[in-house]
Structure 1
Amino acid sequence: MSDLSVRHATPSDIDAVLLFWRTAAEGTSISDDRDGVARLLDRDPEALLLAEREGVLLGTVIAGFDGWRCHAYRLAVHPDHRRQGIARALLDSAEQRFVALGGRRSDAMVLEANERAHRAWEASDYHREDHWRRWVKPL
């Protein structure tokens, strides 16, 4: 894993990230478009983390902080490169960011139907809180 690097995305990465998510992420979001990602980077330029090896995008995570709670979104690893510690490296980088920002709790939003992601999160040091339910309204 020493040849893996994690960096902040820039606006020039948007098209590559959107293409990557079509291959590596399960499901889509209403904000999975150029304008949505550009707004994210404009508001919080360090939120979208990219894992690369030799310039090839292998994984992503959005490490968002709203001043109250830390949120992990869009943790995705290319299918050909899973089970190599890339997700762990991304989460470690996200957690370092959260601590630096003063965050005290992190949560992850995972699609209910994404069984692969549920298994990955269950294998991590995060735990599921079944008593919480998320209510979502498209704006």
Structure 2
Amino acid sequence: MSDLRTRAAGPADLDAVLAFWKTAAEGTSISDDRDGVERLVARDPAALILAERDGALVGTVIAGFDGWRCHLYRLAVRPDHRRQGIAGALLRAAEERFLRLGGRRGDAMVLDRNESAHPAWRAAGYAPEPQWSRWVKPLA
């Protein structure tokens, strides 16, 4: 994994990230558009973490911290690069960010139907909490 690099996304990366999510992420979200991702990077420039190998985008994770809780979204790895430790490297980068900010617990948005991702989350120490239900409301 010595050729794998993680870094924060910048404004110049956003089109590539959006295109990447269309092929590497399971499903899309109402906020998966240029305006939504621009707002994220403008508000918290270190939240969108990219993994690159030989200069090519191979993974992403959003590591958001609201001052109280740590939230993980959009963990995605390019399909032909899965099972190579990229998800783990992204989660370690996110957790290091959270610790620097004073975070104490990671909360991940993981689709139940995305069963192929569950082993990566479990390997990183995450587990579903069946006693909690997540209720969401689109605001736009």
Task: State if a TM-score over 0.5 links the two structures.
Answer: yes
Give the Cα–Cα distance (whole angstroms) in 2 for the partners of residues 123 and 103 of structure 1. Answer: 20
Give the Cα–Cα distance (whole angstroms) in 1 for the partners of residues 70 and 45 of structure 2. Answer: 15
Aligned twin of 1:55: 55
Q: What's the RMSD between the two structures over aligned residues?
A: 0.8
Aligned twin of 1:25: 25
SS in structure 1 opposite 2:107? strand
Deviations 1:102-138 (A, max 9, x none): 0011110012221112233233311111101101000
Query: TM-score, normalised to structure 2's length?
Result: 0.96
SS in structure 2 opposite 1:27? coil
Gaps of 5+ in 1: none
SS in structure 2 opposite 1:103? coil
2:103 matched to 1:79?
no
SS in structure 2 opposite 1:31? coil
Query: TM-score, normalised to structure 1's length?
Result: 0.97
Identity across matched positions, percent: 73
Tell me which stretches of 4 or more aligned residues in structure 1 moved more than 2 Å: none
Aligned twin of 2:42: 42
Aligned twin of 2:108: 108
Count of matched residue pairs = 139
Aligned twin of 1:99: 99
Give the Cα–Cα distance (whole angstroms) in 2 for the partners of residues 123 and 88 of structure 1. Answer: 8
